[in-house]
Amino acid sequence: MYSGGRALRILLTVHIFLPEHYGGTEQLTRHTGVELLARGHEVHVLAGGAGGWRDGTLVPYGDYDYQGLKVHTVGAPRRRNVVETIRDEYANEPVAEHARRYLERVQPDVVHIFNLGNLSGALLDVFQEIDVPVVFTPTSFWPICKMATLTKPSGELCAGPDELSANCLECWGAERHVRPEALPQTSDKREFYRALARQTLSEGKNDKVEPLWTMLRRNRYLHERFNRTVGAILSPNEFMSRKLAEHGIGPELIHLSPFGIDTTGFETARTPRAGSRGLRVGFIGSINHLKGLHVLIEAFKKLPPDSGATLRICGGLDGWPDYACEVHELAGDAPRINFAGAFPNEEMAAELGKIDVLVVPSVWHENTPLIVYSAFAAGIPVVASKTEGLAAVVHHEVSGLLFEPGNADDLAGQLGRLGREPGLLEELGGRASETRDVADSVDEMLELYKRLLGEKRQERIAHAG
């Protein structure tokens, strides 16, 4: 338990925040911030992706209070030209300049980054300028991937950027910025982007290739700043740790630290599970293609109609309306499938009490979604895609079941086991206990803040001497 000294002024950064956005990263930031408040610390949140236009400003911004957290939102600046629009994704100078003025007012003792998407890596320069400890908890792959998901626009999984960042050009749609006659002549997609990267780098930075040069610069820009500015990285799983280290982030900074969540009230969700009424299958999360709801619906429709199984789908339909229409059409008028909509996070325990098993059918490299920990806290087993991030916490035939990503037949088979094998659901639920409470994770954070603050003091003393 942390017992160190004075109250701290702590700044948390996140790409978007509550109450308008309620994804896992936003909830993790909120859990952490509220727990820090309960310990007597002052907590500010700098969030991207929102804010109203102000007369005479390049960057929109806004302020509000959320559960005691002092939230400052920063929106995207007005577009200026193609190159600056590309650069803004990772090196947004107007946002950084706005942040300088904001930090002069807040004067934090510690900065804790949960996500810099919508804010950009230019803030790392600002954090270095104010010379305070910076801690990073990665909730996506954004530091090494423009898409943040290690997934290509086609949906194909990606192992990460190559040594030239050539394969990243596909995600930028780089060919749109090159005259047709100057494009490499090859049908091999990998070689096409590598040739385009080599061609760009050989010319050096000039007006003709500057858009592509700016795209290729992204990863090096971010790696340099993360390695120079961040004092410690609290990685939630080994897969994230390995990917960051493989692609330019200093391994000496990385420490394994699973996410912590607020488990208050979850014991009430530990009710007796499926009996004669049939298996109650649940999906809770964002309704977009990467979350794989279409795979779950296809699998569920393969279950015998007389099984009595039902599917409850919880998630907002506004974010990706085309995909929402797709899964609605796929579900058809099946009476056993219920689109229940979104719900406030405060109702999570109650919602989990309405299902027997949670399915996480993601088709990307999931980074341990918080809903898995929530299900475990409620004693609910999880059936999940066998990706490394999910398999790190959902152990097959121990706390849940795993299936091949995107394979509806395999998922249907695993769900069928829960109905056919007596006692399996209860056994898995009884072992679903790998949940870290937010109080424990905040203890670790505060001890880390204390150590880094001490190191900063020693550096200043040494420099003054």
Q: How long, in residues, is the chain? A: 465
More confident residue, 373 or 22: 373
* Least-confidence region, from 5-14, 43-52, 148-157, 196-205: 43-52
Maximum distance among all Cα pairs of the chain, rounded to whole angstroms? 80
CA 43 to chain centroid, in Å, comes to: 21
**Arithmetic mean of pLDDT, 346-351:** 89
Dihedral sign of CA atoms 84, 90, 93, 99 in order: positive
- Does the pLDDT of residue 327 top 60, yes or no? yes
Question: Is residue 9 within a helix (H) or strand (E), and if so which, with residue range?
Answer: strand 9-14
- How far apart CA 128 and CA 289 sit, in angstroms, is 37
Mean of all residue pLDDT scores within the chain: 91
Dihedral sign of CA atoms 446, 452, 458, 459 in order: negative
Q: Highest mean pLDDT range out of 362-366, 388-392, 404-408?
A: 404-408
pLDDT tens digit string along 102-111? 999 999 999 9
Q: Report the pLDDT value the prediction gives residue 434, as an integer from 0 to 100.
A: 65
Over pLDDT 90: what percentage of the chain? 74
CA distances (Å), origin 226, targets 241, 354, 366: 14, 43, 22
Q: Report the pLDDT value the prediction gives residue 164, as an integer from 0 to 100.
A: 95
pLDDT tens digit string along 161-173? 999 999 999 999 9
Phi, psi of 263 (to 5 degrees): -100, 15
Q: Report the pLDDT value the prediction gives residue 22, as an integer from 0 to 100.
A: 80
Q: Report the pLDDT value the prediction gives residue 366, as an integer from 0 to 100.
A: 85
pLDDT tens digit string along 184-211? 999 999 999 999 999 999 987 777 889 9
52 falls in which pLDDT band (50, 70, 90)?
A: low
The angle, 0 to 180 degrees and rounded to 10, between the axes of the packed helices 438-464 and 24-38 is 70
More confident residue, 138 or 272: 138
- Does the pLDDT of residue 437 top 60, yes or no? yes
- Does the pLDDT of residue 273 top 60, yes or no? no
- How far apart CA 150 and CA 389 sit, in angstroms, is 12
Nearest CA-CA partner of 256 in 279, 273, 233, 277: 233
Q: Could you give the domains of the chain?
A: 9-137+438-464 (3.40.50.2000), 266-430 (3.40.50.2000)
